[in-house]
Structure 1
Amino acid sequence: MALDPGVIGTELPPITMTLDAGRLRFFAKAIGETNPVFTDERAAAAAGHRALPAPPTFLFAIELEQPDPFGWLAGLGVDLRRILHGEQHFIYHATAYAGDTLTASPRITDVYSKKGGALDFLVRQTAVTRIDGSLLADLRSVLVVRNPGASQ
């Protein structure tokens, strides 16, 4: 089923999360990060950080912090068996640290097709802010939805 471009501009529910030092360490290890600044509080302090900093791609995980992180896709009629991760982009305005409470506010910003409708692309942009409302990062992700019934 082709994606409806009418979903462009749809704001998805915001997600709020307090960053936990243990979770940041686990994420750093999971991605193979070897810099001790991301796993050792003393190394982080020696490097001038006030706490453990979030590894560079950790903010992407905030949007997965809900009971049904892909429910919004199902709500659009997307068959979850037909999605691919296409692209991920981060613009950082500040560093996130253990103990920070952050809110991710995603919205759909574009929908387009390629290959005669066989592939739909869904672009989502997310503003990540601190509890005081200051902008921490802008995230952009692109999901690819395969439409096997479309002619190529």
Structure 2
Amino acid sequence: MAVDTAVIGTEFEPVDITVDAARLRFFAKAIGETNPVYTDVEAAKAAGHKDLPVPPTFLFSIELDSPDPFAWLSDLGVDLRFVLHGEQAFTYHSIAYPGDTLTAKSTIADVYSKKGGALEFFVKDTAVTRADGSAVADLKSVLVVRNPGVGK
């Protein structure tokens, strides 16, 4: 498959979630987070928070709530068996807490290939905001697609 740069600028339907304390605790446990600030409200308050703060990488999971979070890749003809997670970056603007309704709005920011097309890269930028429009974070993810038939 050849990278089609025409997809740059493609925007996805926003994904909304309302942050739930039980989900934050589950996420913290799933990633092996041991800091009680992410699981115990009293520890969070003692650290200066009003409630459990959203763990740093939790925001990446918002889009996984959509019915088929990787449909956009399939729609582009990408064989999901050859997709690798290449990079993830977060720029935080504020802390989210239980009760906050968050919206993740993503755009394909770039596509490019390396090694003669053997590796293709999709860069996706995501803005996470609260219901009032205030910024929570900007996320950047890079997915790598390995094309096993290229370069052999």
Both proteins in one fold, TM over 0.5: yes
Give the residue type in structure 1 aligned to 2:106.
Answer: P
What letter is aligned with 2:87? E
Count of aligned positions: 152
Residue deviations 1:44-72 (CA, integer Å, cap 9, x gap):
11111111101110000001011111111
Q: Shift of residue 3 of structure 1?
A: 2.2
Deviation track 1:112-152 (CA, whole Å, cap 9, x = no partner) reads 10011000000000000000001110000000001122226
What is the CA–CA distance in structure 1 between the aligned matches of 2:101 and 2:31, rounded to whole Å? Answer: 22
| Equivalent in the alignment of 1:92 | 92
Q: Which residue of 2 aligns with 1:58?
A: 58
1:1-152 → structure 2 map (5 Å cutoff): 1-151=1-151
User: How far apart, in 1, do the equivalents of 2:12 and 2:146 lie?
Assistant: 22
Shift in Å, 1:87 = 0.2
- Rounded Cα–Cα distance in structure 2 between residues aligned with 1:98 and 1:21: 5
How high is the sequence identity, in percent, across the aligned residues?
70
Matched residue of 2:56: which SS?
coil
- TM-score under structure 2 length normalisation: 0.97
Give, as a single letter, the amino acid of the residue that structure 2 aligns with 1:120.
E
| Stretch deviating more after TM superposition (110-119 or 42-51) | 42-51
What is the TM-score of this pair, normalised by structure 1? 0.97
- Cα RMSD for the two superposed structures: 0.9
Give the C-alpha shift of residue 11 in structure 1.
0.3
In the aligned structure 2, how far is the partner of 1:140 from the partner of 1:98?
Answer: 23
Unaligned runs of 5+ in 1: none
**Separation of aligned partners in 2, 1:15 and 1:2:** 29
Note the residue ranges of structure 2 that are not aligned, 5 or more in a row: none
8 Å contact from structure 1 (residues 2, 147) kept in 2:
no
